[in-house]
């Protein structure tokens, strides 16, 4: 009789532990299913499309120039005439594979730069992270974004991922631009002469 009672107590006790463990696992799954997963709350960007204000234009091709100091000049073009362009300039070891806060100037040996030329080739956005104290007297001081971020990742030697979004004052004082670009795909690699 003692042996049956002991076996029964063991089974009841084991069942309690299994129930508690199952509850913990289920609750963990419920909480992780509700996590944010680093998703943006804003509108989703369209793949391989530039949006400036309400105007959308698909990416035609991307050319990447690299100099000996590992500084990349990435030209994203939207027509064969290459008049409309988003140009990104960044040093690989400082700015690639990390989210760049475009609202901050950076006191470094190299700066990021974002430039946009409209379909007629007129420069509408020119912004970079050079700190104000690094400018010479009388030199134009370039703005940073009011809000925005940039992420660049080389997926392979000829494949790149770019995510740019933000709001910035253009080259005309007081004119603001909302700009976004999401691109993942092939790029032509060229040498910068």
Clarify whether residues 25 and 63 are in a common domain.
no
> What is the value of pTM for the model shown?
0.75
Q: Say whether both 54 and 7 belong to one domain.
A: no
Secondary structure (DSSP) of 106-143: --SSS--EEEEE-TTS-EEEEEE---GGGSPTTPPPPP
**φ, ψ dihedrals at 17, nearest 5°:** -65, -40
Structural contact between residues 169 and 148, judged by C-beta atoms closer than 8 angstroms: no
CA angle 80, 83, 86 (to 5 degrees): 100
Domain holding 24, by residue range, is 1-35
The band of 69, judged by pLDDT with boundaries at 50, 70 and 90, is confident
Q: Are 177 and 189 in contact (CB under 8 A)?
A: no
Question: Among the ranges 32-36, 61-65, 109-113, which has the highest mean pLDDT value?
Answer: 61-65
Q: Is residue 146 part of a domain?
A: yes
Residue 42 lies in a domain: no
**Is residue 24 domain-shared with residue 113, that is, in the same domain?**
no
Say how far apart CA 43 and CA 21 lie, in whole Å. 40
Confidence of residue 39 (pLDDT cuts 50, 70, 90): very low
Percent of the chain with pLDDT over 90: 56
CB 180 within 8 A of CB 172: no
Q: What per-residue confidence (pLDDT) applies to 141?
A: 86
Rounded to whole angstroms, the Cα distance separating 98 from 151 reads 6
Instruction: Count up the domains in the chain and report the number.
Output: 2
Residue 56 domain flag: yes
Cα 150 to Cα 169: distance, rounded to the nearest angstrom:
16
Q: Is position 81 within any domain?
A: yes
**Is the pLDDT score of 1 beyond 60?**
no
Q: Would the pLDDT of 98 be above 90?
A: yes
């Amino acid at each position: 009789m003692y042996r049956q009672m002991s076996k029964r107590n063991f089974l009841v006790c084991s069942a309690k532990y299994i129930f508690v463990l199952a509850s913990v696992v289920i609750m963990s799954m419920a909480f992780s299913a509700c996590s944010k997963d680093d998703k943006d709350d804003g509108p989703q960007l369209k793949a391989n499309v530039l949006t400036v204000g309400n105007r959308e234009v698909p990416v035609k091709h991307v050319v990447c120039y690299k100099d000996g100091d590992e500084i990349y000049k990435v030209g994203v073009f939207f027509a064969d005439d290459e008049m409309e362009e988003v140009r990104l300039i960044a040093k690989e070891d400082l700015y690639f594979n990390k989210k760049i806060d475009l609202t901050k100037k950076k006191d470094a040996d190299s700066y990021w730069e974002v430039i946009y030329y409209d379909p007629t080739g007129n420069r509408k956005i020119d912004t970079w992270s050079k700190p104000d104290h690094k400018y010479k007297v009388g030199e134009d001081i370039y703005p940073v974004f009011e809000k925005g971020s940039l992420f660049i990742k080389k997926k392979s030697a000829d494949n790149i991922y770019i995510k740019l979004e933000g709001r910035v004052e253009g080259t005309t004082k007081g004119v603001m631009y909302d700009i976004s670009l999401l691109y993942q795909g092939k790029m032509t690699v060229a040498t910068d002469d």
